[in-house]
Amino acid sequence: MNIGIFTDTYFPQLSGVATSIKTLKDALEKQGHNVFIFTTTDPHIKKETIEPNVFRFSSIPWVSFTDRRIAFRGFFEAAKVAKEVKLDIVHTQTEFALGMMGKYVAHQLKIPVIHTYHTMYENYLHYVLNGHLLKPYHVKQFTKGYLKNMDGVIAPSERVKELLIRYGVKIPIKIIPTGVDIEIMNGEINNNLRNELGIETDAPVILTLSRIAAEKKINHILNIMPQVVEEFPKVKLVIAGDGPDVDVLKEQVERLTLEKYVIFTGPVKHEDVGNYYRMADLFVSASDTETQGLTYIEAMASGTPSIVYETEYTENIFDNKLLGQTFNTQDEMLAEILEYLHMGKKKIPHDILEAKLDKISAKHFGKEVYNFYQEVIENYKKNKEDLDD
């Protein structure tokens, strides 16, 4: 099958969406399919760089997310390329420029188009004029309008499916949790990472790894760190990643006099994230906007237990205390972090980990998405035949 994935964000940009797309691409290619990525140009990639099956279209930084980009032309060129490579289906991963481009291409080639709804935009309205311009109603209308006349949509979790139903979306919705590339998580091992970060061998390490932005609620983790330091004077909190709130969090660290206990790593290469998870005693995420929970699945794949904010999706992941726990309040988060740190560095038992990873592997993810492609293509052909009759 020839598959066209249309996305505004792709490597070398670092985000959960970019990781999800790369994981899907690799999984589908291992099944023998051809995957073509239609995405934006990136200032970190030289023009002469050759990227097999990746087509980039002229773009500029997006106003509210300057580390994200939006294409401003390329519709006709994309349709020409898609026709040449004989796409069988279009899979959009954004509701913006490249998403509209994908819908246009599918219409021109008369092939089905599906979408993955990655982002709960109601949680990001503060980025646009501090939330004074756009309201949840606008998100509902925009989402419903974008998905209209598409042939299917993938929801990474039950929570996302319920949201789309609440929005009045009528097209087929399939829940397919994002898979994890376990091979990358267990790739080249760097046992010297703690030393490189200046962390003592016997120091308890708490890791949070994500885009450094307000919705990730990293400030909540910093708020409880003084109590953690009181019980574990050698503890280190490693904040891995980059984003618009780095300076804000560094100011908070200074106010709380936590300079000795908090390490900001900056951007982390995708192939290195497994080493960060393995280096840590505990992974913590205070974000209440996760629709996929990709980071704590990655932590799990690396054998490190997690403490994360409770959502509908976490129910299916943390069904064993050895894998991790969930919380609803900062007090609960603090209590659980202290409980795990008192247990010492304990990796997830191999048998429990293997059983869980089988369900969330990249291989399983790729198979589920491909099966949905097949369903959508069959329905598309059937509907077309009914119209012709």
DSSP secondary structure letters along 286-354: --S--SS-HHHHHHHHTT--EEEE--TGGGGT--STTTEEEESSHHHHHHHHHHHHHH-S-PPPHHHHH
Sign of the four-CA dihedral 79, 80, 82, 88: positive
231 contacts 314 by C-beta, under 8 angstroms: no
Q: What is the pLDDT of residue 291?
A: 61
Residue range 114-129: mean pLDDT, rounded: 69
More confident residue, 156 or 32: 32
d(CA 247, CA 261): 17
More confident residue, 293 or 94: 94
d(CA 311, CA 305): 17
Q: What is the pLDDT of residue 129?
A: 39
Q: How far is CA 319 from CA 53, 181, 253, in A?
A: 40, 21, 34
Residue range 39-50: mean pLDDT, rounded: 86
**pLDDT tens profile 242-298:** 999 999 999 999 999 999 999 999 999 888 999 999 999 999 999 987 766 788 888
160: left (phi over 0), alpha (psi -120 to 50) or beta: alpha
Of 180-189, 205-214, 357-366, give the range with the top mean pLDDT.
205-214
Judge whether residue 215 has pLDDT over 60.
yes
pTM score: 0.77
d(CA 11, CA 9): 7
307 half-sphere exposure, CB direction, 13 A CA radius: 26
Same fold, 2-179+361-388 and 182-360: yes
Q: Are strands 34-40 and 54-57 parallel, antiparallel or unpaired?
A: parallel
Q: What is the pLDDT of residue 313?
A: 67
The CATH classification number of 182-360 equals 3.40.50.2000
Judge whether residue 64 has pLDDT over 90.
no
Q: What is the pLDDT of residue 297?
A: 85
Backbone φ and ψ of 366, nearest 5°: -60, -40
Q: What is the pLDDT of residue 125?
A: 53
Judge whether residue 208 has pLDDT over 90.
yes
Judge whether residue 102 has pLDDT over 70.
yes
> Predicted confidence band at 132 (pLDDT cuts at 50, 70, 90)?
very low
Q: What is the pLDDT of residue 50?
A: 87
Fold of 2-179+361-388: Rossmann fold (3.40.50)
Enumerate the domain spans of the chain.
Answer: 2-179+361-388, 182-360
Q: What is the pLDDT of residue 54?
A: 96
Q: What is the pLDDT of residue 49?
A: 86
% of the chain at pLDDT higher than 90: 65
Of 237-246, 312-321, 346-355, give the range with the top mean pLDDT.
237-246
Q: How far is CA 149 from CA 25, 46, 142, in A?
A: 25, 37, 14
Residue range 4-18: mean pLDDT, rounded: 88
